[in-house]
């Protein structure tokens, strides 16, 4: 690494703003990650063990299984959109504030 300005990294992670960012981000990301993994694996597990449910016709010949598979795409997009909105509105602002303080202070 090229010599960066001297930044007290322990002070950064002890900063209350960093603690807030860390707490909110961690909770949010863990929740979304667990939800998306569980929702994804429901599809193959259901296809193997709940075939009768997958065969139920819902919309003409379109059955539950097909709609469930399509919903995986919608859910993935919604998660991406939801995360980037929250990150853009909240996490980025906190991160930029912290960065501004310490990059200036250390240089």
Partner 1 sequence: MTTQHRRWAVWGLAGVMAVSSGAAFAQGAVADEYRWLTFTVFAAIITLTMYITYLAAKRVKTASDFYTAGGGVTGLQNGWAIAGDYLSAASFLGIAGLISQYGYDGFMYSVGWLVAYITVLLVIAEPCRNIGRYTLSDILAYRNDPKWMRIVGAISVITVSTFYLTAQMVGGGVLVKTLIGIDYEISVIAVGILMLAYVLFGGMVATTWVQIIKAILLVIASLVLVMLVWMPYGFSLPAFLQDVVGDPKVQAKVASLLGDSAKNMSAAELGQRFLEPGLFFKNPIDQISLGMALVFGTAGLPHILMRFFTVPTAQQARKSVVWAMAIIGGFYVLTLFLGFGAAKHVGPAAIAAVDPGGNMAGPLLAQYLGGGADSFLGNFMLAFVSAVAFATIVAVVAGLVLAAASAIAHDLYVGVYHGGDVVPPQQQVRAARIATVVVGAMAITIGIAAKGQNVAHLVALAFAVAASANFPCVLLTLYWKRCSTGGIVLGMIVGTVVAVGLTLVSPNVTYPKAVREAAQKVLDGEPAKRSAIDVALASGDAQAAAQANLDLAALDKAVKKAQDDMAKVEGKDTSIVGLAKPLFTLKNPGIISIPLGFLAVLLGSLLFRDKRSEALWPEVYARQNTGILASKATSH
Nearer to partner 1, 16 or 44 (CB): 44
HSE-up of 48 (CA within 13 Å, CB side)?
Answer: 4
CB of 16 to partner 1, least distance (A): 14
CB of 91 to partner 1, least distance (A): 8
Nearer to partner 1, 4 or 16 (CB): 4
CA pair distance 71, 79, nearest whole angstrom:
12
CA–centroid distance for 25 within its chain: 9
Query: Quick check: 28 and 86 in contact, CB under 8 A?
Result: yes
Q: What are the residues facing 63 on neighbouring strands?
A: 57
Nearer to partner 1, 16 or 95 (CB): 95
Q: Phi and psi dihedrals of 60, rounded to 5?
A: 60, -130
Query: Quick check: 12 and 98 in contact, CB under 8 A?
Result: yes
Q: Which residues bind partner 1 (CB under 8 A)?
A: 1-2, 4-5, 7, 9-10, 12-13, 18, 21-22, 25, 29, 32-33, 36-37, 40-41, 43-45, 47-49, 51, 54-55, 57, 59-63, 65-66, 69-70, 72-73, 76-77, 79-81, 83-84, 87-88, 92, 95-96, 98-99, 102-103
């Amino acid at each position: 690494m090229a010599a960066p300005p001297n930044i007290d990294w322990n002070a950064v992670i002890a900063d209350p703003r960093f603690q807030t960012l860390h707490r909110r981000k961690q909770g949010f990301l863990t929740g979304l990650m667990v939800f998306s993994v569980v929702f994804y694996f429901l599809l193959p597990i259901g296809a193997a063990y709940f075939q009768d449910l997958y065969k139920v016709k819902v919309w003409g010949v379109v059955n539950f299984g097909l709609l469930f598979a399509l919903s995986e795409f919608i859910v993935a997009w919604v998660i991406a959109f939801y995360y980037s909105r929250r990150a853009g509105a909240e996490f980025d602002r906190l991160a930029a504030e912290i960065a501004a303080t310490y990059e200036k202070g250390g240089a």
